[in-house]
Structures are given as C-alpha cells and as structure tokens.
C-alpha cells in the first residue's frame, strides 16, 4: 500500500464558492491541482478526499448531484493522469452535532478505519482552520494551502496554524511532500 494523503476538496482541488458548489458546472479546478494529484498518483501515493458538504443539509443540492460533481472531479483528475481513490463527505449542517463535520475528526477516523491504518504522519491538506484542527484531532499532519479560504486562514493566525507548513497551492504542497520523500 502506498502512502496516504488526505485532501480537502473546496478551495484545495477546486475553486471555492461562498454560495457552495451546487452543480458539476460550478466545479472548477484550482490551476495546477489536477497535475499535482497526478504527480502524487505517479509517485505511488493514495489520494483520498475528506470534505464537508453542508449544502446537502441546507437543501442546496442532493446526493445525486453531489455524485455528479464528484464524477466530474474523478474524470478531470483521471484525464490529468491522476487518481482519487475515495471521497469521504459529511452531509450534515453545522448545528447537527455530528462527529464527521470538520473540525471534528470523524471523517478522518473513518478513513483510518477503512484503510486499517493510523493517521500518524499522514498529510491532511486543507485551506481552513477546521481542516487543520480535524487533522490534529485525528493525529494526522496538517498542511495549509493559500488557495480557497487559505489566505484568510493564514492571516487570522491562531493556535490552529502553529507549526503548520503553508504553501501557495496544492501543486506547491505536493512538490514539498515529494521532495521530503527524496
């Protein structure tokens, strides 16, 4: 089994929207993100996505539409030569008190259970404090990108950012991971 890397979706792989990504047409990749995933795939990494999708709870789109959005993402990544192995998502709203909505670690724990592994040292690349907090809570390694909400997150600072590497985008974060691997 290759090394595992966990990516947030909105703001990391695709452009984020405060109005939510509600259709496949609204799913637009961040420049360089598809190639970055292809580089990870080529280097033997297993790429998994963990994403909050409260738009479902808010009634903005349904599971079938989310499936179509993810099918578009899978296709785009595959066309670039990469592979996303699995997508884990939280469909709940912020007030539902679930364990899977980041910053809670539930989604990441689900990934660890599915892959029968510990998340120690596993990079979790996100653009928000809640991604970093979820990574920490699950014992993984938080990494911040400046795309999406990342610049705002970096500017806000705070304990979530302590000791966290910050990169301009997914391509730069992947570059650093691959360099580290030597």
- The catalytic site residues sit at 8, 10
CA distance 142 to 145: 10
Q: Which two tokens stand for residue 59?
A: 């009634």
Q: What are phi and psi of 7, to 5 degrees?
A: -115, 140
CA distance 48 to 46: 7
What is the CB neighbour count within 10 angstroms for residue 20? Answer: 16
Q: Which two tokens stand for residue 125?
A: 């690349």
Q: Which two tokens stand for residue 39?
A: 């580089």
Helix axes 33-42, 63-79, angle to 10 degrees: 70
Q: Which two tokens stand for residue 132?
A: 């970093």
Report how far Cα 70 is from the mean position of its chain's Cα atoms: 13
């Amino acid at each position: 089994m290759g090394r595992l890397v966990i990516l947030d979706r909105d703001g990391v792989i695709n452009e984020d929207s405060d109005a939510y990504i509600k259709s496949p047409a609204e799913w637009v990749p961040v420049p360089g993100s598809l190639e970055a995933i292809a580089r990870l795939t080529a280097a033997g990494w297993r790429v998994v996505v963990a994403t909050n999708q409260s738009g479902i709870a808010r009634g903005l789109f349904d599971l079938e539409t989310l499936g179509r959005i993810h099918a578009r993402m899978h296709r785009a990544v595959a066309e670039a030569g990469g592979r996303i192995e699995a997508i884990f998502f939280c469909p709940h709203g912020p007030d539902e008190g679930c364990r899977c909505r980041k910053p809670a670690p539930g989604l990441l724990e689900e990934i660890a259970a599915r892959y029968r592994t510990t998340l120690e040292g596993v990079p979790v690349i996100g653009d928000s404090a809640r991604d970093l907090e979820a990574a920490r809570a699950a014992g993984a390694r938080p990494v911040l990108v400046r795309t999406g909400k990342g610049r705002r997150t970096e500017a806000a600072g705070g304990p979530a950012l302590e000791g966290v590497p910050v990169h301009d985008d997914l391509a730069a974060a992947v570059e650093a991971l691959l360099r580290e691997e030597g």
